[in-house]
Amino acid sequence: MPDKETIRELIMRAMGMMKMSYIPYSHFSVGAALLTDSGEIYTGCNIENAAYTPSVCAERTAFFKAVSEGHTSFKAIAVTGGMNRKAEDFCTPCGVCRQVMNEFCDPETFLVISALSPDSYRVFTLKELLPYGFGPDNLKN
Ligand code: THU
């Protein structure tokens, strides 16, 4: 488990990213802050599209930014979300984002921190959110 200060920092960075969400359709903004094994933080926001399906969630934005810069091991991600840029839901990652996490993270140890504020958050393991997931180990022979 990251220390209290790191959790606080992740939540603040996630909340800050809600300002960057491109959300003309749902008006629901999500921010994410992803902690690498080596201690860097990569952030993300959701980015919607007029054709709907090309939209991407905040969590995947953060993962793809980090992976594209060479990081493939992660400790935790903070997620904040709500209508009209206010973090007022305990927002948990969608199924597609859970699957992306499962590609890079150990489900037993990777933590998803769903937050309303730096003082109000819930912590889940990826395994709790994605039990019996299909992952890289399934393709080993
Ligand atoms: N969304 C995220 O970015 N992350 C989540 O965990 C849930 C949903 C986005 C997708 C879409 O832009 C908006 O929130 C409403 O579904």
Q: Which of 9, 40, 48, 59 is catalytic?
A: 59
In this predicted structure, the answer to whether residue 89 has a pLDDT above a threshold of 90 is no
Q: Is 103 annotated as catalytic? A: no
Distance in Å, CA 115 to ligand 1 centroid? 15
Mean pLDDT of the chain: 97
Q: What is the mean pLDDT of residues 86-109?
A: 96
pLDDT of residue 101: 98
For residue 137, the 8-state DSSP code is G
Nearest to residue 86, comparing CAs of 25, 15, 26, 22? 15
pLDDT of residue 33: 98
